[in-house]
Structure 1
Amino acid sequence: MTQAATPPASTPPEAIKVFAPTPALDSLAKSFEPAAIEAKWGDLWEQSGQYDPTLDAQKESFSVQLPPPNVTGTLHMGHAFNQTIMDSLTRYHRMLGHNTLWVPGTDHAGIATQIVVERKLQAEGKTRHDLGRKNFVAKVWEWKEESGATITRQMRRMGDSVSWKYEYFTMDSKMSKVVTSTFVQLYEQGLIYRGKRLVNWDPVLKSAVSDLEVENEDRDSFMWHIEYRFSDGPQLDADGNPMRGMHIATTRPETMLADGALAVHPEDPRYKHLIGQRVDLPMCDRSIPVIADDFVDREFGSGCVKITGAHDFNDYAVSLRHDLPLITIFTLDAKINENGPAAYQGLDRYDCRKALLVDLEKGGFLQKAVPHKNTVPVCARTGAVVEPMLTDQWFVAMSKVSESDPTGKSIAQKARDAVSDGEVSFVPEQWVNTYNQWMNNIQDWCISRQLWWGHQIPAWYDEDGKVYVAANEEDAQKQAPGKTLRRDEDVLDTWYSSSLVPFSSLGWPEKTKELDLFLPSSVLVTGYDIIFFWVARMIMMTKHFTGKVPFKHVYIHGLVKDSQGKKMSKSEGNVLDPVDLIDGIELTPLLEKRSQGLRKPETAPQVRKTTEKEFPAGIPAYGADALRFTFASLASLGRSINFDSKRCEGYRNFCNKLWNATRFVLMNCEGQDCGLAQHTKAQCAPGAEFHNYLSFSQADRWISSTMQRVEADIAKGFADYRLDNVASSIYQFVWDEFCDWYLEIAKVQIQTGTDAQKRATRRTLIRTLEGILRMAHPLIPFITEELWQKVAPVAGMQKGPLIGQAAYPQSQSEKIDLQAEAHVVKLKTLVDACRNLRGEMNVSPATRLPLFVVGDSDFMNTIAPVLKSLAKLSEVKLFDDQAAWAAAAQSAPVAMVGEARVCLHMEVDVVAEKARLGKEATRLEGELIKVNAKLANEAFVAKVPPAVLAQEHKRLADFSATLEKIKEQLLRL
């Protein structure tokens, strides 16, 4: 192998071009300041058009759908983490030359948006009913235009390379057309129907809500024990003793007014003989039966439960099995309706509870009230306790097979098969179990909401209540000629329109190039909390309407929590704003302004309890790159990600390290001959062979070889969706190998080498750095762009005016140089040995000592200049004879490195050193006596905490090890 045969970076030869020297170093700031860089590049990237996908059928394609954030939302840590993963993947594949599309969009967020606008109206003393539906919807659109782009602006701050030309809003005309079209098709296929079913009901919104919008809260309450007396008088229990009635326990006594039965387990010996009896419903003028059902847990409580089919999901199923009456006791705002006793009608549910408990106690029905920690379902949007409510709603039939469907499969079955057949895979794979568990127990999907903001259901009713479903009123009227029609006032669940996004955002039902190239998309990046609500529904709807799956892979990442592993929430006071971490917050001036009333609370960044504790002087400005690198480093396959802001500081330091390394490389390469030109013999020194124009050292070859391995590791990391491994590989290579080792070696080579060696070193420096910048760009785009613009011309790069348009470095296994790697491993071992010897001798790093070496003289001669610099040596003295070396070394500490024996030589006052070491040995022996006495004391060992005991054992080990080393030094002396 000739010395010029292996270029030290992986840039293709055709990309090399000679550039005239440019004042790159002069224009590069002396320190890394992220704010100025981020402000500069964000707009330029977007204006360059590089985010627009190529549509070349001959290329590989990569696409990813942004989980559309709510139009009401702002960027939170979960968004920022999720989007960092997506952007890194997108930038990587774009640099690989693939057709690359990252589809952005925002969700109209029916409930959240309506609440925001209604609260604004409340501040003006108005309600939506004062405006009417048409004017209220217009008001929401007006708010959307003013405030709806907050989160997309914040995405730009993160450097997200989204294909903004494809941005959609789930209520825009294109998306709405698809929503209506699919609804009509499903209805005509018999897969959408309207019926009375039990749903989660928010009495403040007066609307059905999805399970995702319901949060369970633990609250202190009571379990009330109530007696239901037999209608025909006392009965005998299983032992022949008289019993007046059946006993139940409930946390919601007001719902007993709607009871349809009492239930016991059919095999419960206490109650088998009472099945079929009737009991009087307390405070109500009716009786209900005692029924048997396997649903009842006979070991829990009294083994008898009340069945309230219209107000409990489990009871609803029991009621259907036994044909029990479904009695609704609440109005839509959770007050007692006409089905309740007259004394309670019109009362709020909780006022009714109080009054009912008083009456039950007076009547002798209330046996006792036991304190109980109750799990209460609460709407996350309004804070109202959710009631199961029997209402008329629209549903998608999940398990029904349409007669017109040639596959003969239900929507749910198609989605199950897509995963079981491997068309869609989950990363990590165990999330398939969660998916299957939900899909195998799937219920019909309630898609209607009683709101004004959203896609209004395309259904009309005539005077007789007959329904007509059509794309518009004109088509509906054709189905009902001469009849007066009234449109259904409900709107569709937000999840319905978002389930269509994989194909509606690409132009369906038109046959577009985007549909051909980007459906299915490559990967969906999302959290585990919406596997059913969004992931499963996208698979169902996309498979049903297009015959394709929406995506090939589902990468499920964990939930971002605080550094202690707690969920981030406002109530915990541990919420961090990603933009605050990028820009920083001067906390003290902010607090002062607030106390003086100079800053409005709604416009100021939220000051949080943990923020004040963790950052007493405010949050430092870490910059987007440091935050992104932190997120990437945390992107493992676990269920949760504990975010510690201190890691941002570490990656901010990494950016500084890369910045300073670039300044060093430019200082040594700019305006110099870096061996990048197409050389001729005339350019070589007289009499020199052409290939000797560049003389690569083993270190040059080693850094190139190591880079090939890192590039392979990174490719695997991206393929496996392990951005933590990608981040780790980049960090270790740049910091540990390139900066800490190769730059230090390069300094020596430039100072002491021949012209050919200097050229090769410069070439290696600039080309390796240039490759590093391209390699790191997907994770830290801003700093790499800024540096690459300075480095690329010096490195002779031709392709692309922007780094994102350059080729991503690809590993070339033929450039792995095992000999060079072994050489540098041996050099590192020798340097480490010298540093260890220096530590053993307590020699200051500033003191240069000679190194005496015997053996392996060829290697030592080769690396002597570098070894002197890295090990802080005054000279490297080689000995041919073992005896001569030993005589010169005398009592100095010795290390074996391969075939060589080495020692640092220092003139030592033997008598004084022996006295010093002897004194220290005596002190350590005393400490050991004390520690051993403690550990031998059984009372001490039994009483102290485990941490204290462990500390004493550690002290014993440390003292023993140090004493052993001192004794060795004394022996040598």
Structure 2
Amino acid sequence: MTVKQPNLSTQYNPKSTEAKWQEFWESQEIFKADPNHDGEPYCIVIPPPNVTGSLHMGHAFEASLIDTLTRYHRMLGRNALWLPGTDHASIGVSTVLDKNLRAEGKTRQDLSREEYLKRAWQWKEESGGKIVNQLRKIGVSVDWTRERFTMDEGLSKAVKTAFIHLYEAGLIYRGNYLVNWCPASKSAISDVEIENQEVAGHLWHFRYPLTDGSGYVEVATTRPETMLGDTGVAVNPADDRYKDLIGQTLTLPIIGREIPIVADELVDLEFGTGCVKVTPAHDPNDFEMGQRHNLPMINIMNKDGTLNENAAEFVGQDRFVARKNVVAKLDELGVLVKIEEYSHSVPFSDRGKVPVEPLLSTQWFVKMESLSSKALDFLDNKQEPRYIPERWQKVYRDWLVKIKDWCISRQLWWGHQIPAWYIVSETKGDITDNTPFVVAHSEEEAQEKAIAEYGADITLKQDPDVLDTWFSSGLWPFSTMGWPDDTADLATYYPTTTLVTGFDIIFFWVARMTMMAGYFTDQMPFQDVYIHGLVLDEKGQKMSKSKGNGIDPLLMIDKYGADALRFTLIKKVAGAGQNISFDYDRKKEESSSVEASRNFANKIWNAARFVMMNLDDKTPQDFPAIDAPELAADFELCDRWILSRFNQTVQQTRANIENYALGEAANGLYEFIWGDFCDWYIELIKSRLWQDATSKERLAAQSTLAHILDGTLKLLHPLMPHITEEIWQTLTQSEGTKTLAIQSYPEISPELLQPQLEKSFELLFGVIRTIRNLRAEASIKPGAKISVILQTESTEEIASLQPVTNYIKGIAKLEQLTITNSLEEDPGQVIVGIFGTIQVIVPLSGMVDIPALRSKLEKNLAKVEKDLKSLSGRLNNPGFVNKAPTEVIQAAKDALAEAEKQAEILRDRLDRLQ
């Protein structure tokens, strides 16, 4: 592919340019990492998006951050690897497949496991790569040759190895415990897969009669259907109201079961009546009390959320239907006391989007204490990993301290099937809680183990459950490098350098990786954890499918370009871990901030065209080095100033990226490129570029232009890779496989820093802006030559202004410029502006019709004061304030503030019209 472009087109077309360079980088394997590269390794593994997913703004944001870091470190000469891949998303894929089956009038059970998995793999091949192809549109510099999937052969081997090691070490066990059950996916889920939602519900009060007929106790519950599984009632031992009842029994309404009254300190004296029903098989707290008091555990629920044979007349009913019917029955029996409105937190399945049901179930668990203690040891004694920002370290640590055993089995077919084989009866083949089993890498190995332990005449059946998706993704940083085998990638790139991820999956994923890595590799899987915030909508709300407030990043890319979207998202990062708001007009499907970044891209493009048109078809390599002795004598002040500003920007940008202050880096580059380079330097040297081709002053200006443009493209490349690559290729007239992406990142030249000169130019620009504002205020024609007096008592400011007087006169179109520490003569009628401690005085005699100008300003002020009076009257009127909608009142307040600001400006202008 030929990448040379003879000229830049008159307009920048991001769509064609970005597609071209994305294809070029990938086809030429520019980002393919080499373990033998002599640079210091820099490695990031992508937080693997679900194979079911499609690109959303959060993905675009995260990818932009990671790509900026990776490109930057690659340009520093480091051996950079950004490893891509996707997660198999057990519940997500199962939900899609089950939905497709329902459309055919079938369920999963109508297919064999093999048929179901064949469909799953077929779906994955046809649709699963969607998000990967979408990520390509962002321009990510990943090594696609190393793309991984959590169920590919290598990672499956890692998962089996990890499971068997943990089992043989006594850290994985199988037991019958209360788990979080998702009736939608019909699977157990972990604590971190639960989202608590505030729900407006009810608190039902019932009477449970004492068995001896001497009275009753009153209990309150938010889940009345679970009373069918009650095996006790608990009171606090310090509660004087019920001390005499402890040890007595009650008769459970509807069921007629005799249940004891027990004393337990877990009971909150202030909740409800102080008596709580105990349902050990359906509530975590009740499960603990049931174990302490040896209460029976009666499960009343099927795995689909309907009630089972233990639910008497309500068998087969959905749990929420049964709730209404149980309440009606209790009312009929005369034991319903009252129903209260009650708002409370309800756990929902993050994937299934339905309320979770605590359910007694036989599952596989990981003992977490030894795993978490090792991660804690790294954190407390080695400060690994380092969290940015640091406050998330405490959140991570607290969770490791309070951790519970992890339920890792899921009642699904898509995923890593648990490598355990049960010794079952040839006739029944049923698996019970007591069925013996062996754990092995394969069925053949399981057969050998089973024969050795149980004899030759056996039948094996593999556990039908699969592992929690987070089990395999917990191994991601090292399984993707080839673990458990000793590979060159593992030796070179592991531990990885940086993890970039959202705060919302610290528990889901980050902690899983640190614990797994600590146990299996005796190292933390990454040095730094850079936590970013969420992308919020234009109202500051979290984007979600249910709210319908998501913003399609592909729409933004199609309209404005990937570089513009990337730069916008990064520029908005005020600090690590902070959320960012994304402005968006939903009617027009437009974003003013992305449009501003697109305009920035156009500004760079047009500036580059101007520079190249004035280089006489030369490249930066054709000019003398910027520190060449033959150039030094021909540099003007503005050349030295822009070189100083460029090196200052290099220093700041490098420091910001190294410290993960990517938003500050973007803003600094924006200010330098748009302001210093485009608006000021190019304007200052235009007259020199029009000189004779042999002019030394022209050569110095050309050399500086070429050097600054080349360096600026390199500085900006990690953030806006496509447009910078396109311009750089044209500027340097590169051919073949040469690419900006692997050029050296600019280094600071300290000898070119001139802070005092930069101060002079800050004064220069401030004075020019003030003069331009005064010209506009006084309605002086743009082309008219005027006189200006700069008065300041600061000798330092006078000394700084003296060298740049010619620039001020030329740019501000001045006939005469006077710089003084005091006014010796009366300048007559003037208009005055202030910049810092400098008075900028423009004499108006002969230039402006002063009475007409004063009249114009007074009329404008009168109109604004009239608006002020009207707005103040409305806001001081109780009738308006008490009745008008909130948004109308706020609009009036905003209008009042704006009018006050306008009035202040107009009065100031009149005061200064001396």
TM-score (norm 2): 0.89
Count of matched residue pairs: 875
SS in 1 for 2:830: coil
- For 1:57-206, list aligned pairs within 5 A: 58-206=38-186
Which of 194, 206, 209 in structure 2 is aligned with 1:214?
A: 194
* Deviation string, structure 1 residues 100-157 (Cα, Å, up to 9, x no partner): 1111111111111122123223333333333300121112111111111111101111
1:659 Cα offset (Å): 0.7
- Find the aligned partners of 2:205 and 2:705 in 1 and give their Cα distance: 80
- Find the aligned partners of 2:350 and 2:181 in 1 and give their Cα distance: 12
Q: In terms of mean alpha carbon deviation, does 663-672 or 550-559 score higher? A: 663-672
The one-letter code sitting in structure 2 at the alignment partner of 1:232 is D
The answer for the alignment partner of 1:824 in structure 2 is 761
Q: Are 1:346 and 2:307 an aligned pair? A: no
The one-letter code sitting in structure 2 at the alignment partner of 1:459 is A
Contact 1:521 1:550 in 2 (8 A): yes
- Find the aligned partners of 1:839 and 1:662 in 2 and give their Cα distance: 31
Q: In terms of mean alpha carbon deviation, does 329-338 or 891-900 score higher? A: 891-900
The answer for the alignment partner of 1:12 in structure 2 is none
Q: Are 1:629 and 2:604 an aligned pair? A: no
Q: In terms of mean alpha carbon deviation, does 528-537 or 825-834 score higher? A: 825-834
The answer for the alignment partner of 2:884 in structure 1 is none
- Find the aligned partners of 1:355 and 1:501 in 2 and give their Cα distance: 48
- Find the aligned partners of 2:481 and 2:366 in 1 and give their Cα distance: 24
The answer for the alignment partner of 2:400 in structure 1 is 439
Distance 1:877 1:532, change over 3 A: closer
- Find the aligned partners of 1:752 and 1:880 in 2 and give their Cα distance: 34
Q: In terms of mean alpha carbon deviation, does 772-781 or 218-227 score higher? A: 218-227
The answer for the alignment partner of 2:250 in structure 1 is 279
Contact 2:763 2:801 in 1 (8 A): no
The one-letter code sitting in structure 2 at the alignment partner of 1:710 is T
The one-letter code sitting in structure 2 at the alignment partner of 1:313 is P
- For 1:912-927, list aligned pairs within 5 A: 913-914=850-851, 917=854
Higher relative contact order structure (alpha carbons within 8 Å, sequence separation ≥ 6): 1
Q: Are 1:702 and 2:658 an aligned pair? A: no
The answer for the alignment partner of 1:15 in structure 2 is none
The answer for the alignment partner of 1:334 in structure 2 is 305
- For 1:672-683, list aligned pairs within 5 A: 676-677=622-623
1:454 Cα offset (Å): 0.9
The answer for the alignment partner of 1:892 in structure 2 is 830
1:882 Cα offset (Å): 9.1
The answer for the alignment partner of 1:614 in structure 2 is none
Distance 1:655 1:929, change over 3 A: closer
- Find the aligned partners of 1:551 and 1:92 in 2 and give their Cα distance: 18
Distance 1:868 1:283, change over 3 A: same
The answer for the alignment partner of 2:610 in structure 1 is 664
Q: In terms of mean alpha carbon deviation, does 73-82 or 797-806 score higher? A: 797-806
Contact 2:363 2:409 in 1 (8 A): yes
SS in 1 for 2:556: helix
SS in 2 for 1:394: strand
Which of 299, 303, 310 in structure 1 is aligned with 2:281?
A: 310
Contact 1:702 1:817 in 2 (8 A): yes
Q: Are 1:468 and 2:443 an aligned pair? A: no
- Find the aligned partners of 1:574 and 1:670 in 2 and give their Cα distance: 52
Q: Are 1:27 and 2:4 an aligned pair? A: no
Distance 1:798 1:142, change over 3 A: closer
The one-letter code sitting in structure 2 at the alignment partner of 1:363 is L
- For 1:500-649, list aligned pairs within 5 A: 500-583=475-558, 621-635=559-573, 636-644=575-583, 645-649=591-595
SS in 1 for 2:309: coil
The one-letter code sitting in structure 2 at the alignment partner of 1:969 is L
- Find the aligned partners of 1:792 and 1:696 in 2 and give their Cα distance: 23
Q: In terms of mean alpha carbon deviation, does 694-703 or 543-552 score higher? A: 694-703
- Find the aligned partners of 1:439 and 1:881 in 2 and give their Cα distance: 67
- Find the aligned partners of 1:516 and 1:673 in 2 and give their Cα distance: 41
- The percent of aligned pairs where both chains have the same amino acid is 42
The answer for the alignment partner of 1:847 in structure 2 is 784
- Find the aligned partners of 2:306 and 2:470 in 1 and give their Cα distance: 29
Contact 2:44 2:496 in 1 (8 A): yes
Q: Are 1:366 and 2:336 an aligned pair? A: yes
- Find the aligned partners of 1:852 and 1:376 in 2 and give their Cα distance: 72
The answer for the alignment partner of 2:718 in structure 1 is 778
- Find the aligned partners of 2:296 and 2:119 in 1 and give their Cα distance: 43
Distance 1:776 1:371, change over 3 A: same
Distance 1:516 1:647, change over 3 A: same
1:510 Cα offset (Å): 2.0
The answer for the alignment partner of 1:248 in structure 2 is 219
Distance 1:931 1:146, change over 3 A: closer
Distance 1:890 1:514, change over 3 A: same
The answer for the alignment partner of 2:913 in structure 1 is 969
Q: In terms of mean alpha carbon deviation, does 30-39 or 347-356 score higher? A: 347-356
1:274 Cα offset (Å): 1.9
Q: In terms of mean alpha carbon deviation, does 832-841 or 767-776 score higher? A: 832-841
Which of 729, 739, 742 in structure 2 is aligned with 1:789?
A: 729
* Deviation string, structure 1 residues 437-494 (Cα, Å, up to 9, x no partner): 2111111111111111111111111137211111111111112211221111111111
Which of 210, 219, 224 in structure 2 is aligned with 1:230?
A: 210
- Find the aligned partners of 1:129 and 1:496 in 2 and give their Cα distance: 26
- Find the aligned partners of 2:633 and 2:239 in 1 and give their Cα distance: 92
SS in 1 for 2:663: helix
- Find the aligned partners of 1:490 and 1:930 in 2 and give their Cα distance: 72
Q: Are 1:728 and 2:667 an aligned pair? A: yes
SS in 1 for 2:80: strand
1:637 Cα offset (Å): 2.3
1:34 Cα offset (Å): 0.6
- For 1:923-962, list aligned pairs within 5 A: 955=899, 959=903, 962=906
- Find the aligned partners of 2:637 and 2:548 in 1 and give their Cα distance: 55
Distance 1:480 1:859, change over 3 A: closer
Contact 2:759 2:800 in 1 (8 A): no
The one-letter code sitting in structure 2 at the alignment partner of 1:388 is P
Contact 1:193 1:395 in 2 (8 A): yes
The answer for the alignment partner of 1:588 in structure 2 is none
1:958 Cα offset (Å): 5.1
The one-letter code sitting in structure 1 at the alignment partner of 2:771 is C
- For 1:798-837, list aligned pairs within 5 A: 801-837=738-774
SS in 1 for 2:255: coil
The answer for the alignment partner of 1:425 in structure 2 is 386
- Find the aligned partners of 2:105 and 2:863 in 1 and give their Cα distance: 82
CA RMSD, aligned part only? 3.3
The one-letter code sitting in structure 1 at the alignment partner of 2:399 is W
Distance 1:843 1:638, change over 3 A: farther
Structure 2 unaligned spans of 5+: 426-434, 584-590, 882-888
* Deviation string, structure 1 residues 788-842 (Cα, Å, up to 9, x no partner): 111124xxx9997100010011223232113432332232233234224324423
The answer for the alignment partner of 1:872 in structure 2 is 813
Contact 2:789 2:842 in 1 (8 A): yes
1:283 Cα offset (Å): 0.9
1:317 Cα offset (Å): 1.7
Contact 2:475 2:517 in 1 (8 A): yes
The one-letter code sitting in structure 1 at the alignment partner of 2:112 is G
TM-score (norm 1): 0.84
The one-letter code sitting in structure 1 at the alignment partner of 2:203 is M
SS in 2 for 1:197: strand
The answer for the alignment partner of 1:766 in structure 2 is 706
Contact 1:563 1:642 in 2 (8 A): yes
